[in-house]
Amino acid sequence: MNRPTRFRAALRPFPYLMAVLVVGVITLVLWWLREDLTLANFSLIYIVGTFVVAVWLGTGPSLLAAVLTFVSFNFFLIKPYYTLAVEDPREVIDLLVYLLVAVIAGQLAAYARQQAEAARLNAAEQNVLYTLSSAFNQLTDRASIVQVLQQQLPEFLPVQEVEVLPQTVERPSDANSTTSYLLLQAGQSIYGTLRVTFTAVPTESQMRLLMACTVQAAMALQRIQLTESAQRSQSLEEADRLKTALLRAVSHDLRTPLTIIKTSAENLAELHDRLPQAEQLEMIHSINQEADHLNMLVGNLLDMSRLQAGALRINRHWNALDEVAADVAAHAWKRHQAERLRLDFPDDFPLALFDYGLMLQAVSNLVENALRYEPAASQVVVRGAATAEEVRLLVINHGPTIPKEQKAQVMEPFFRGADGRVGLGLAISKGIVELHHGRLW
């Protein structure tokens, strides 16, 4: 706040009128009792009155009270009465000493009052800033920051309107304006202008608190911007990694089935009249099998991109995991034309809350991966187990174990196993299970 504003605040009439009233009441009482009291009694009572005015009303009123008590003391209580003349020269010294003591006592009391008030205001400001900081730390977008400012500032300050302007605005030079403009600036970055309309010309302490709140808001906006930049950078890195892995997959895993399909189709077209029927059926079966593999690989790539982009949504309902396992077993029989899967679920296996379609896909990927390495003469076991806290689905095969050094990597996207295949099924299953707040290991 500028000097004229502080000066006007210091000259508000009410405190000075109250100081005059207090001195007047004390003087009236002492005048009534002046024949029964001594000059020492008068001076002590006046000093106490000046002290009370200083603590209650501040520095300016206490100075006025000291001067008024000095004049009243001389005019009403020291002979000759009702004149400023003094008979005994020693009383002049007493009056001057009284005036000095009254002024010093009043100023010390006023200073103590100012310090106490400053401490109270500082504690209140710290509480306000802590409340705002706690609210800002939970927010993740600019609109929420603006909303908190509009809701909280009227609770701390006498304001009518709070608005955040996207552009910088020149601050008006009129010191009497009730509207303040403050830049939302953190470091070298400016995030707009905070425009606050007060109900009256703001005091220095109110402006100080508003500026501190503005700094908090600017820091929160900077944090949100940095977080968004980091997320965009991470998304770009993930996209680059996905693109690289996709190109790697296209160069091998997609090209291989396409080559087999093309070769088999060309042989059938050129040699169909010379090839035995058994070989033709074998080529047709090979085309069909590789087309299924190609379809599965493309589907997995699309699902993985949706998972990594956070675009996969789940629709939970109460479902039975044993029914999911039964559907997977039926699909496996249709594909392999053999009982490659054995289900082991208790009769009282409980329902669980999950998305049936997504869980079917997750279990299918696990089972297909297990069947790929399962010896031809044995079966993969899908077993259900339940406790009071969770339900579990175990897929058990009898193929080769995963090397220890690869266990942490086998469920990562695009991991290549010993057969050279790009691994996506387990990564997709893990992502689906984690979307349901479960875990896969």
Q: Provide the domain limits for residue 177.
A: 140-231
* pLDDT at site 416: 61
Same domain, 382 and 336: yes
3-state DSSP of the chain: CCHHHHHHHHCCHHHHHHHHHHHHHHHHHHHHCCCCCCHHHHHHHHHHHHHHHHHHHCHHHHHHHHHHHHHHHHHHHCCCCCCCCCCCHHHHHHHHHHHHHHHHHHHHHHHHHHHHHHHHHHHHHHHHHHHHHHHHHCCCCHHHHHHHHHHHHHHHCCEEEEEEECCCCCCCCCCCCCEEEEEEEECCEEEEEEEEEECCCCCHHHHHHHHHHHHHHHHHHHHHHHHHHHHHHHHHHHHHHHHHHHHHHHHHHHHHHHHHHHHHHHHHHHHCCCCCHHHHHHHHHHHHHHHHHHHHHHHHHHHHHHHHCCCCCCCCEEECHHHHHHHHHHHHHHHHCCCCEEEECCCCCCCEEECHHHHHHHHHHHHHHHHHCCCCCCCEEEEEEECCCCEEEEEECCCCCCCHHHCCCCCCCCEECCCCCEECHHHHHHHHHHHCCCCCC
Same domain, 144 and 218: yes
In this model, does residue 68 exceed pLDDT 80?
Answer: yes
* pLDDT at site 2: 42
Q: What is the mean pLDDT of residues 104-129?
A: 77
Contacts of 65 (CB under 8 A, 6+ apart): 19, 22, 23, 49, 50, 53, 54, 102, 106
Same domain, 180 and 194: yes
Torsion, Cα 241 243 244 250, to 10 degrees, reads 140
Q: How many CB atoms lie within 10 A of CB 422?
A: 22
**441 in any annotated domain:** no
Q: What is the pTM of this model?
A: 0.45
Q: How many domains does the chain have?
A: 4
Residue finishing a domain among 287, 308, 329: 308
Same domain, 226 and 253: no
What are the angstrom distances between the C-alpha of 93 and each of 51, 82, 96, 102, 212? 21, 19, 5, 14, 51
**405 in any annotated domain:** yes
Q: What is the mean pLDDT of residues 392-399?
A: 85
**131 in any annotated domain:** no
**55 in any annotated domain:** yes
* pLDDT at site 4: 43
- Return d(Cα 366, Cα 292) in angstroms, integer: 17
Q: What is the mean pLDDT of residues 26-46?
A: 85
* pLDDT at site 245: 61
**368 in any annotated domain:** yes
Contacts of 129 (CB under 8 A, 6+ apart): 212, 213, 216
Same domain, 325 and 304: no
In this model, does residue 5 exceed pLDDT 50?
Answer: no
* pLDDT at site 356: 87
Same domain, 354 and 273: no
* pLDDT at site 161: 87
In this model, does residue 371 exceed pLDDT 70?
Answer: yes
Here the CATH number for the domain that contains residue 181 is 3.30.450.40
Confidence class for position 3, pLDDT limits 50, 70, 90: very low
Same domain, 211 and 290: no
In this model, does residue 8 exceed pLDDT 70?
Answer: no
Residue finishing a domain among 231, 253, 278: 231
Q: What is the mean pLDDT of residues 407-433?
A: 68
Task: For residue 16, report the phi and psi dihedrals to the nearest 5 degrees.
Answer: -70, -35
* pLDDT at site 249: 56
For 36-45, 123-132, 226-235, 361-370, which range has the lowest pLDDT when averaged over its residues? Answer: 123-132
Average per-residue pLDDT for the chain: 79
Same domain, 295 and 323: no
Cα-Cα-Cα-Cα dihedral sign, residues 56, 57, 60, 62? negative
Here the CATH number for the domain that contains residue 342 is 3.30.565.10
**128 in any annotated domain:** no
Residue finishing a domain among 88, 120, 152: 120
